[in-house]
Amino acid sequence: MSWKHRHLLDIKSLDKSDILTVIETARQFKAVGERSIKKVPSLRGKTIVNLFVEPSTRTRISFELAAKRLTADIINFTASASSLQKGETLKDTAKTIEALNADIFIVRHNACGAPHFLSRFLDASVVNAGDGAHAHPTQALLDVFTMIDHLGDLEGKQVTILGDILYSRVARSNIWALKKLGAEVTLCGPPTLVPRIFEQWGCKVTYDVDKAIQDADIINLLRIQHERQRHAMFPGIGEYKTLFGLNKERFRHTRPEVLIMHPGPINRGVEIDSEVADCERSVIMEQVTNGLAVRMAVLFLVSGGQSSQIESSD
């Protein structure tokens, strides 16, 4: 297993063995998290910056905890309380923080390409924590880690992604990861949110939700990303829920061993009903747990770590 990347900007740039390296490394860090002492000194002395210019709960907190579990120092940058509000550019902000000897920038931004832009002039590593509708690589990595944990090899597995695909960075990064791992991907949602252009990515596109879910091994639900939509993409939430929401009745017609996934945040009662979100086939909380291990793995690997160096004893 080898890892050659200084940055993690998207899944497109990774090959299958890179994805499996992250998963194998994450598996080791997950075991560390189950010990009584959950910390390892792997990144002692490193400085990591959580540069979040868009709201986040899961990704920001799990990167923060990942850095702490690796014994790194972590700075949480709060955009609303920063000099960005006084007109300072993102580049000047990042260069200023880098002058304090930051080693890794974790970047979330509503503009597609912001992490790629920063990676062009920073000496530090850059990890994309979600940029606009473009990419969310650690979400895709934790998603495939969770799928592999339950199903093993994903070759030929049927994965349905249901919801707002057009505005979703999670969908794009999942499609890249799943296709590289040999899964069959079906996309479903309102036609305005699931354009047929995704067929050129090797996905099936259908607007028939019952057909999309009936043979799926995995159903990954996505919320409507209103914050990225410039105008109404469908008549209303009530209609969306009726036509595309995963409710108890629709769930009854899925395979008994289907996995229900959602990257969060969930809009309960819209894309998924609570009975389904919280049922025994739901692995949504496992995704959160695996996210911590995956983010530890990514921080470790972009710093030049090798999985053979991870402490294996308590």
Chain residues that interact with ligand CP, rule: CB under 6 A = 56-59, 130, 136, 139, 263-265
Closest contact distance (angstroms) between CB of 286 and ligand CP is: 14
Eight-state DSSP code of residue 178: H
Q: Which is nearer to ligand CP, 238 or 265 (CB)?
A: 265
Closest contact distance (angstroms) between CB of 287 and ligand CP is: 8
Closest contact distance (angstroms) between CB of 50 and ligand CP is: 11
Helix axis angle for 137-151 and 169-180, nearest 10°, is: 50
Q: Which is nearer to ligand CP, 61 or 75 (CB)?
A: 61
Eight-state DSSP code of residue 104: E
Q: Which is nearer to ligand CP, 28 or 225 (CB)?
A: 225
Query: Nearest 5°: CA angle at 184, between 163 and 288?
Result: 55
Token output for 223: 């919320």
- Write down the residue that tokens 């289907």 correspond to: 258
| C-alpha span between 287 and 198 (Å, rounded) | 25
Closest contact distance (angstroms) between CB of 108 and ligand CP is: 7
Closest contact distance (angstroms) between CB of 232 and ligand CP is: 23
Q: How many CB atoms lie within 10 A of CB 46?
A: 21
Closest contact distance (angstroms) between CB of 2 and ligand CP is: 28
Torsion sign, CA atoms 73, 79, 262, 191: negative
Closest contact distance (angstroms) between CB of 169 and ligand CP is: 8
Q: Which is nearer to ligand CP, 103 or 143 (CB)?
A: 143
Torsion sign, CA atoms 193, 195, 201, 203: positive
Specify whether the CB–CB gap between 112 and 134 falls below 8 A. Answer: yes
- Pairing between β-strand 204-206 and β-strand 184-188 as defined by DSSP bridges: parallel
In the chain, the N- to C-terminal Cα span, in Å, equals: 24
Residue 253 φ/ψ, nearest 5 degrees: -100, 15
Q: How far is CA 32 from the centre of its chain?
A: 21
Closest contact distance (angstroms) between CB of 190 and ligand CP is: 21
Q: Which helix (H) or strand (E) holds 236?
A: none
Eight-state DSSP code of residue 302: H
The total number of residues shown for the chain amounts to 314
**3-state helix, strand and coil shares in percent for the chain, rounded to the nearest 5:** 40, 15, 40
